[in-house]
Amino acid sequence: MSEKKEFTVLTTDDEKSNLDILAGILSPYYNILVAKSGARTLELAKEKKPDLILLDVMMPEMTGFEVITALKASNDTANIPVIFITGLSSTEDEQRGFFLGAVDYITKPFNNAIVKARVKTHMRIVDQMRTIERIGLIDPLTKIANRRGFEDRFEAEWGRAIRENIPISFLIMDIDLFKIYNDTYGHQQGDVALQAFADTTIDSLHRAADFVARWGGEEFVVLLPDTGIEGAMEIAERIRVNIEEMTIPIDEDTQTSVTVSIGINCVVPELDTPMKEFFEKADLALYKAKELGRNRIVKAEDL
């Protein structure tokens, strides 16, 4: 490979021989950074922002598990994917690694082809996510569309609804008492809750055309093309129940939960139907749902 190496891998191991093997496998394709301790890994991760970290589990002073915990706790390094490298091969350790946020696991002694393939796979994911984020339509935290991504899609579906004379429904959802959740458990745990909320909402939608986005803060929206108010109510209720039943892990022993309030608006739009007012009415319905005690659904037509 003669072109400039685009990606950087930080390799960490307390044994030099392992670092040499990894460099031998990966240096033809990537820039390589080397750390012999957990402390040095954290330093280099923060300074150099590598695209991927290969992290030895068994190291004196600071174990790989402690290192990944520290990486995930800092905004600067939380999004760098980590692959654990270790002689351990117990499923318990593997599970612990994944629980702490590792994306993959490689066992020693190294198989060159496996190391190369795993690193390549994760670099491809890094590359894809960057492209999507660069386009600017994705919320980096929840990996779903952001407001701009939603508006693009909405305008297209709104136009189609006008042409085909079909209904379009819109849900606006706000996580109940989220400020208290954040104050109680901290912002990092708040982010975990937002991610879980996005995942559960996606799982509650069954049609490819249904579209969920993060509107901002703890507000999410769903676009339901070709869906009347009864269908929209049904889907909103499914989301409400799934969110209520969802558990959000804090650690291995502790879980939390949240509820959601939902405002709905539905219309068969015509050329002169104001889109802005359509959103505002959904917003008012959401307010009403909050006022009535939260964890409920209100439709704009009932206001």
Which sequence positions are flagged as catalytic?
218
CA distances from 136 to 39, 130, 144 (A): 34, 10, 11
Specify the residue for token string 């359509």: 278
Closer of 45 and 85 to Mg ion (Cβ): 85
Residue 250 makes contact with Mg ion by CB under 5 A: no
Inter-axis angle of helices 187-204 and 229-245, nearest 10: 140
Give the integer Cα–Cα distance in Å for 91 and 83: 15
Residue 219 makes contact with Mg ion by CB under 5 A: no
Closer of 14 and 94 to Mg ion (Cβ): 14
Closer of 108 and 147 to Mg ion (Cβ): 108
For the bound state, the minimum distance from the C-beta of residue 36 to Mg ion, rounded and expressed in Å, comes to: 10
For the bound state, the minimum distance from the C-beta of residue 178 to Mg ion, rounded and expressed in Å, comes to: 41
* Binder among 5, 7, 14, 88 for Mg ion (CB under 5 A): 14
Residue 264's DSSP bridge partners are 171, 299
Residue 56 makes contact with Mg ion by CB under 5 A: yes
Closer of 36 and 147 to Mg ion (Cβ): 36
Inter-axis angle of helices 64-73 and 91-99, nearest 10: 20
Tokens of residue 30, six digits = 């990537």
Half-sphere exposure of 28 (CA within 13 A, CB side): 7
Give the integer Cα–Cα distance in Å for 221 and 212: 6
Closer of 14 and 226 to Mg ion (Cβ): 14
- Applying the rule CB under 5 A, the residues between 108 and 127 that interact with Mg ion are none
For the bound state, the minimum distance from the C-beta of residue 26 to Mg ion, rounded and expressed in Å, comes to: 18
Give the integer Cα–Cα distance in Å for 81 and 75: 13
Per the CB < 8 A criterion, the answer to whether 283 and 172 are in contact is yes
DSSP, collapsed to helix, strand or coil, labels residue 8 as strand
Give the integer Cα–Cα distance in Å for 161 and 48: 49
For the bound state, the minimum distance from the C-beta of residue 193 to Mg ion, rounded and expressed in Å, comes to: 35
Residue 66 makes contact with Mg ion by CB under 5 A: no
For 301, which DSSP code?
Answer: G
Closer of 105 and 220 to Mg ion (Cβ): 105
Burial of residue 235 (number of CB atoms within 10 Å: 0-12, 13-18, 19+): buried
Residue 157 makes contact with Mg ion by CB under 5 A: no
Residue 58 makes contact with Mg ion by CB under 5 A: yes
Question: Candidates 10-18, 176-184, 216-224, 259-267 — which segment interacts with Mg ion by CB under 5 A?
Answer: 10-18
Per the CB < 8 A criterion, the answer to whether 296 and 282 are in contact is no
Tokens of residue 139, six digits = 């919320």
Question: Candidates 9-17, 65-73, 173-181, 270-278 — which segment interacts with Mg ion by CB under 5 A?
Answer: 9-17
For the bound state, the minimum distance from the C-beta of residue 114 to Mg ion, rounded and expressed in Å, comes to: 18
Residue 106 makes contact with Mg ion by CB under 5 A: no
For the bound state, the minimum distance from the C-beta of residue 18 to Mg ion, rounded and expressed in Å, comes to: 7
Residue 93 makes contact with Mg ion by CB under 5 A: no
Q: How many residues make contact with Mg ion (CB under 5 A)?
A: 3
Residue 205 makes contact with Mg ion by CB under 5 A: no
Chain contacts with Mg ion (rule: CB under 5 A): 14, 56, 58
